[in-house]
Amino acid sequence: MTAPVLIFAIGNESRGDDALGPLLLRDIDKYLKNKDNCQDFELLEDFQLQIEHAMDMKDRQRVLFIDAGMDTPAPFSFYRSKATGEPVLYSHALAPQALLDVYAQVYGESPPDAYILCIKGESFELGESPTPTALNHQALALDFVKQLLDAVSWDALIETKPR
């Protein structure tokens, strides 16, 4: 059976603070092991989003994308992402919004509710370890995700975090 919630971390562990998403996902995995509702969540990670990930969103109620960002407010931002049908830059990697657009077009239906948790990073160079500041942001993000996992409505938590 497909878990109703997909948590998808994006990042490369060998590129400094780009590791924040995968590292947080590992912490979430540990946390969920002791939760009664752990079967409600599926955890995935990849270097970047691609078209086939639209298939991972099928039959979900919610999707949470976790990524590291340079320009996001510290320590993290949490907001909703929607398919817009507006032109975006396409590459070998997709933005969450573009993935939602692909989903809507390919399946002919609205994608699941999608949210983005973007953790503030500082340096993304190949071979670097995550910076101490970014790891602090990740720890705060974990506390926030714990709230999300128990919350009935995620929209209510958006208001507490600036986009």
Q: Which of 102, 117, 119, 141 binds other proteins (CB under 8 A)?
A: 102
**Is residue 28 a contact partner of residue 7, using CB atoms and an 8 Å limit?**
yes
The residue (of 10 and 64) whose beta carbon lies closer to other proteins is 10
The residue (of 77 and 97) whose beta carbon lies closer to other proteins is 97
Q: Tell me, residue by residue from 10 to 29, as one string, x for binding to other proteins by CB under 8 A and - for no binding.
A: --xxxx--------------
Is residue 126 within the footprint of other proteins (CB under 8 A)? Answer: yes
Neighbour order of strands in the sheet with 41-46: 41-46, 5-10, 62-69, 113-120, 76-81
Distance, in Å, from the CA atom of 142 to the CA atom of 83, rounded to the nearest integer, reads 26
Q: Which of 88, 129, 139, 151 binds other proteins (CB under 8 A)?
A: 88
Beta bridge partners of 65: 8, 116
Q: How far is the CB of 89 from other proteins (least distance, A)?
A: 5
Is residue 86 within the footprint of other proteins (CB under 8 A)? Answer: yes
Distance, in Å, from the CA atom of 84 to the CA atom of 144, rounded to the nearest integer, reads 27
Beta strands in 23-148 (DSSP E): 41-46, 62-69, 76-81, 113-120
Q: Do the strands 113-120 and 76-81 form a parallel or antiparallel pair, or are they unpaired? A: antiparallel
Q: Tell me, residue by residue from 66 to 85, as one string, x for binding to other proteins by CB under 8 A and - for no binding.
A: -------------------x
- Region of 31-39, 74-82, 100-108, 137-145 interacting with other proteins (CB under 8 A): 100-108
